[in-house]
Amino acid sequence: MKVPCYQCGKPAVLDGLCAKCYDETHPLIEVKTPLTLLSCKRCGSVKIPGGWKKLSDMSTDTGDLWLHQVDILLDSEVKPLVRNVELTVEEEKRLDRVLHITLSALGKSHEDLPPHIEHYPVEIRFSYGTCDTCGMMSGGYYESTLQIRADGRSLTDEEEDDIVRIVTEMTVAQYGSDDKAFVTKISSDKYGMDFQIGSEQLCRSIADVLEAQYLAQRKQNYKLVGQEKGGKDKFRTTILIRLPRFGVGDFVRVLGNPCQVVAMNKSGLTCFDLVQRQQFTMNSKSSKWRTLEYMASKDERREFMVTTRVYGQPTQIMDSKTFEIREIQETLLSKDIETGATVYGLILDDDFFLLPSE
């Protein structure tokens, strides 16, 4: 015969207690009520011991923002007393700045006992402030300036759009791990673009990517702006990324031959030789690179219409602007180009160069 539970008299199973009394005297979690949830009124971050906890992108995209904020708060305030406890939250009543929830905990108070559920009524009181990151942003704080320029020309619309995309994606990617990962100001004029960036580390990372992608020149300097609390000098960094004069689609000369730039990326510069009719890739360490020089903008290309094409005979093409007829070798055109098709070419000193198909 089993010893009776010393609290209720039922058969004891553990430490002189029945399963129900043991569970009641050994709760799964410990949580206080009421709890105060301090969140940033701008970004929704939640204040927890040790600092501010940012929300994930997924959290900020949903309408029930408070659910994610409460999860962060409970993760900080709920103390598990046993291992492998599963928590669920159910809303009971919601007012303007007060939320009543039922916090349910599923688990085992002892490994020899079956799992059970415990319910805890919790009151959460909302208050609002400004997190450190948003405070720095609103105050115009920045550690570095990233300047984007182009050699002897203005940035193209495509380049500006691509640069903004890169800056945005890299800032968002580092936002969760770097409190200063934000852009305070973006300015654009005929000379180029300037980004005032809160984090020097982020600025350097963005500069690395742009330097490699555009095969750009890089310069940086430092300006003394004050002293930190310990008396250490505080500097602000300016990084200049200067894009080459040519971009994708422009014309350059390599080893004396006119070429069209097909692609630019960290792997190097890919060009199409308009004389040899072949594509090649080079980088700054290549011997070809030393012969590289700018020739003309991609706007210099001209549109032609194929007017006559007969196998074994020169092909006639007509300039779409001047209506001038030119003859080119029939073998320059691929077999799928027929009469009436549009092709593009470059004229240099009255020499015609057929451009590669786009």
- 250-299 confidence digits (pLDDT tens): 999 999 999 999 999 888 999 999 999 999 999 888 999 999 999 999 99
pLDDT at 170: 95
Domain end among 254, 283, 298: 298
pLDDT at 213 over 80: yes
* Pair (147, 180) in one structural domain: yes
Domain end among 132, 156, 186: 132
27 lies in some domain = yes
Is residue 125 within 8 Å of residue 34, measured between CB atoms?
yes
* Pair (93, 147) in one structural domain: no
Q: Kind of pairing, strands 183-189 and 144-150?
A: unpaired
* Pair (149, 227) in one structural domain: yes
Q: How far apart are CA 150 and CA 83, in angstroms?
A: 59
Q: Which domain holds residue 146?
A: 140-243
5 lies in some domain = no
pLDDT grade for 113, boundaries at 50, 70 and 90: very high
Phi–psi pair at 267, nearest 5 degrees:
-75, -20
- pTM here? 0.74
* Pair (56, 123) in one structural domain: yes
* Pair (319, 238) in one structural domain: no
* Pair (203, 264) in one structural domain: no
* Pair (257, 200) in one structural domain: no
* Pair (37, 121) in one structural domain: yes
* Pair (222, 146) in one structural domain: yes
CATH number assigned to the domain comprising residue 333: 2.40.50
Q: HEC states along 210-259?
A: HHHHCCCEEEEEEEEEEECCCCCEEEEEEEEEEECCCCCCCEEEECCEEE
150 lies in some domain = yes
13 lies in some domain = no
Q: Is 40 exposed, middle or buried (0-12, 13-18, 19+ CB in 10 A)?
A: buried
CATH number assigned to the domain comprising residue 280: 2.30.30
* Pair (91, 166) in one structural domain: no
Which tens digit of pLDDT belongs to each residue from 298-333? Answer: 999 999 999 999 888 899 999 999 999 999 998 888
Domain end among 197, 223, 243: 243
Residue in this structure with the two tokens 């160069």, named with its chain if needed = 353
4 lies in some domain = no
Is residue 242 within 8 Å of residue 217, measured between CB atoms?
yes
Residue in this structure with the two tokens 């995209």, named with its chain if needed = 61
10 lies in some domain = no
312 lies in some domain = yes
- Token readout for 184 is 């305070």
* Pair (232, 264) in one structural domain: no
* Pair (278, 250) in one structural domain: yes
Is residue 131 within 8 Å of residue 43, measured between CB atoms?
yes
Is residue 341 within 8 Å of residue 317, measured between CB atoms?
no
Q: State the helix-helix crossing angle for 200-213 and 157-175, rounded to 10 degrees.
A: 140
Q: How many structural domains are present in the chain?
A: 4
